[in-house]
A = this chain, B = another copy of it.
């Protein structure tokens, strides 16, 4: 598929998809005419990247995270001690973000419940659009 379709399916603008590629978070094959071409796998990849970036992870780190997943998937036990330490450091940062966001989420929930708006809660939690 071409960039337009990928954009439509992920909700990420073509501009950003190109930007992510430029930041080395994405790779794209090229059709003979120079157009970028993507596969199904890219859909998830792009969603993931966008999600992480939106969650405040700088692109530089997003790359590390996804590369980690990738090499884990291909189970390459490639892991120089130093990289592992960096990851461990990153881990605490990620966990801190999760904790912080979780508190906010709970606050919102509690508040909506306390103000008799549970209906909205159900609407909100149904879709489960986990990315």
Task: List residues of A whose CB falls within 8 A of some B CB.
Answer: 48, 51-57, 65, 68-69, 71-72, 75, 77, 79, 81, 84-85, 87-92, 94-105, 107-112, 114-115, 117, 120-121, 123-125, 127, 129-131
Cα distance, A31 to B88, chains bound together (Å): 43
Q: Which residues of B contact A97 (CB under 8 A)?
A: 51, 54-56, 101
Cα distance, A124 to B92, chains bound together (Å): 6
For residue A11, give the distance in angstroms from its CB to the closest CB of chain B. 11
Decide if B55 touches A108 in the complex (CB within 8 Å): no
The residue from B88, B89, B90, B115 contacting A117, defined by CB atoms under 8 A apart: B88
Decide if A48 touches B94 in the complex (CB within 8 Å): no
The residue from B69, B99, B129 contacting A92, defined by CB atoms under 8 A apart: B129
The verdict on A91 contacting B124 (CB below 8 Å), with A72-B111, A114-B72 known, is: yes
Cα distance, A129 to B87, chains bound together (Å): 17
Decide if A108 touches B91 in the complex (CB within 8 Å): yes
Q: Which residues of B contact A124 (CB under 8 A)?
A: 88-89, 91-92, 95
Cα distance, A68 to B72, chains bound together (Å): 41
